[in-house]
Amino acid sequence: MSDTVIQVDTISKLYQLGEISTGTLSRDVSRWWARVRGQEDPFQKIGEANDRTIKGTSDYVWALKDISFEVKQGEVLGIIGRNGAGKSTFLKILSRITKPTSGRIRVKGRIASLLEVGTGFHPELTGRENIFLNGAILGMTKAEIRAKFDEIVDFAGIERYIDTPVKRYSSGMYVRLAFAVAAHLEPEILVIDEVLAVGDAEFQKKCLGKMKDVSEREGRTILFVSHDMSAISTLTQRAILMDHGQVSHIGTTPETINAYLNRYVKKNLIYTAPPSDSRPQIIRAEVKTNLPNNHHTCLAPLVVEIDVHTPFPLRGASISFQVVNNRDQPITHLWTFDSERPMCREAGIYQLRCDIQAFRVYMGNYTLKVYFSGPPGGETYQILEYICPFTVEMFELYREFKWYPGTCTYLENAEWVVKKSATGSSHYLL
């Protein structure tokens, strides 16, 4: 007997933008007649790939296009990709919330899905009633649900509110109960979307531990979608990268994460962009390493330079950047505010330099994530991700400091200098 529990065979999903119908009665009749005869929809062929960043010419978009792969029993499969890549659409098809336009999925076993906050709950029913409702949907008897009831409530940590209608729950309480129900009512396949991001850090850690436990000890299959590369790395051994509705890469989790980062990381150490006449923006960013080819020695001074341009005066501007590792985790975050270093109070170009006296991060590959913002709680003018890639080398330092990966998230000391260059002459604003 095959140990494949999910077989996805050329799944595609077509959506029409704007009006739901084809626009004319004759086209609607033609589509209906094609469906009756078991033929392909005559209006599918004009669809475009799902790229949210560009304006298309067609009213039809392929949210998914020819997705094929298999999942084995007991496997924890990660699914990653940028927003709009098609991850949630695929999970909705797998959970039978929506139908594919073409293709087929074969599933062996019951599926419990945690896709959106409140999915599968009736808002007027209490937490207790929803537990029994979800168990009944999965085909469990009342006795089986009662046997699990106390364990579910204890895991969710909402015993005081278990007889309160769930419409009065916060989003965090929703997620706590929903995950506890999905994980404890013994489905063969557990499907989890990004909803765990709603919970607090302690509960997220608890959920990851539970998912690992039900996979390794109970042999259940898990499909896990997340933007948290650390969680994906911790929980999964194999992952899928989705891009514009298609499978871009399938492989081990480290390989897939690297493929994800390499796809979006800008290759140049220096980022540049022309200034805009209409909005404030970052026009240049550079990491100055002490070794050739974007390499840097651990403990050596590191310099980050950021140039911003504003076509009009700003009040309370701030610039900050994160150093991000190859798991997409921010390692350190450094910032400067207008109240500390005057900047952007007049239209023009401002050159910022951040001197890190001793850059103490573990060896590995890193990029910058740069923010250009107004005062706290105000407008964010621009965020740049995956720019200025560089590699940190440790040589023999790890023997002296006994550092290990995953133990180096910290706040770094740094000095900022701001220089205004609006008319060709420059002066420091200290």
Domain with CATH 2.60.40.2550 in the chain: 270-429
DSSP classification of residue 138: T
For residue range 30-46, list pLDDT tens digits in order: 777 877 877 766 665 54
pTM for the model: 0.63
Q: What is the pLDDT of residue 42?
A: 65
* pLDDT exceeds 50 at position 54: no
Q: What is the mean pLDDT of residues 52-80?
A: 79
Integer Cα distance of 358 and 401 in angstroms: 14
Share of the chain above pLDDT 70, in %: 83
Average pLDDT across the chain, whole number: 81
Q: What is the pLDDT of residue 196?
A: 65
Burial class (CB in 10 A: 0-12, 13-18, 19+), 313: exposed
* pLDDT exceeds 80 at position 50: no
Of 94, 79, 81, 89, nearest to 239 by C-alpha is 79
Q: What is the pLDDT of residue 310?
A: 94
pLDDT bracket for residue 114 (50, 70, 90): confident
- The three-class DSSP label of residue 84 is coil
Domain with CATH 3.40.50.300 in the chain: 4-10+65-262
pLDDT bracket for residue 85 (50, 70, 90): confident
Q: What is the mean pLDDT of residues 137-162?
A: 87
* pLDDT exceeds 70 at position 57: no
Q: What is the pLDDT of residue 409?
A: 54
Of 53, 115, 60, nearest to 84 by C-alpha is 53
Integer Cα distance of 158 and 179 in angstroms: 12
Integer Cα distance of 181 and 204 in angstroms: 15
For residue range 323-361, list pLDDT tens digits in order: 998 778 888 899 898 888 889 999 999 999 999 988 888
CB 22 within 8 A of CB 31: yes
Q: What is the pLDDT of residue 253?
A: 87
Q: What is the pLDDT of residue 430?
A: 35
Number of helices (H), then strands (E), belonging to the chain: the values are 9, 21
Fold of 270-429: Immunoglobulin-like (2.60.40)
* pLDDT exceeds 60 at position 191: yes
What is the maximal distance between C-alpha atoms in the chain?
80
* pLDDT exceeds 50 at position 426: no
| 319 or 134: which leads in pLDDT | 319
Which tokens belong to 35?
């469906």
Q: What is the pLDDT of residue 250?
A: 93
- The three-class DSSP label of residue 115 is coil
CATH number of the domain at 4-10+65-262, please? 3.40.50.300
Window from 187-196, 223-232, 409-418 with minimum mean pLDDT? 409-418
pLDDT bracket for residue 59 (50, 70, 90): low
For residue range 282-329, list pLDDT tens digits in order: 999 999 988 877 888 888 899 999 999 999 999 899 999 999 987 788
* pLDDT exceeds 50 at position 213: yes
